[in-house]
Amino acid sequence: QVQLQESGPGLVKPSETLSLTCTVSDVSISGYSWSWIRQPPGKGLEWIGYIYYSGSTNYNPSLKSRVTISVDTSKNQFSLKLSSVTAADTAVYYCARDGLNWYFDLWGRGTLVTVSS
């Protein structure tokens, strides 16, 4: 069964860089695009960006200046870096596959990242 698992620090200090990794199991990362999506506590969903397995990326224009998504096909992983974080970046961060007709058909369980000193 295909699984996605987010990992990384649950607490990040303001102005620092948030770093998360998504490990994909039981399916090759090749041939798909892979996204990061976040959800502040009690709020809605926000798409952060996606990376194609070849390495090409597209980012949410509102976050583009602070976001970097990368892929490591040898490890079947992709990663998120979000710089200069503030309390507004506190959220559950999900990784997801842009699969069925380029919609998010597989999701990780999500990981809560809190920005606080």
Chain positions contacting another protein, by CB under 8 A: 35, 44-47, 50, 58, 60-62, 94, 96, 100-105, 107-110
- The C-alpha atoms of residue 91 and residue 39 are separated, in whole angstroms, by 5
In the bound complex, what is the minimum distance in angstroms from residue 15's beta carbon to another protein? 27
Let me know: does 93 contact 104? Beta carbons within 8 Å.
no
Taking the least distance from each CB to another protein, the nearer of 86 and 101 is 101
Which amino acid is present at 115? Answer: V
Taking the least distance from each CB to another protein, the nearer of 15 and 112 is 112
In the bound complex, what is the minimum distance in angstroms from residue 74's beta carbon to another protein? 26
- The C-alpha atoms of residue 76 and residue 38 are separated, in whole angstroms, by 21
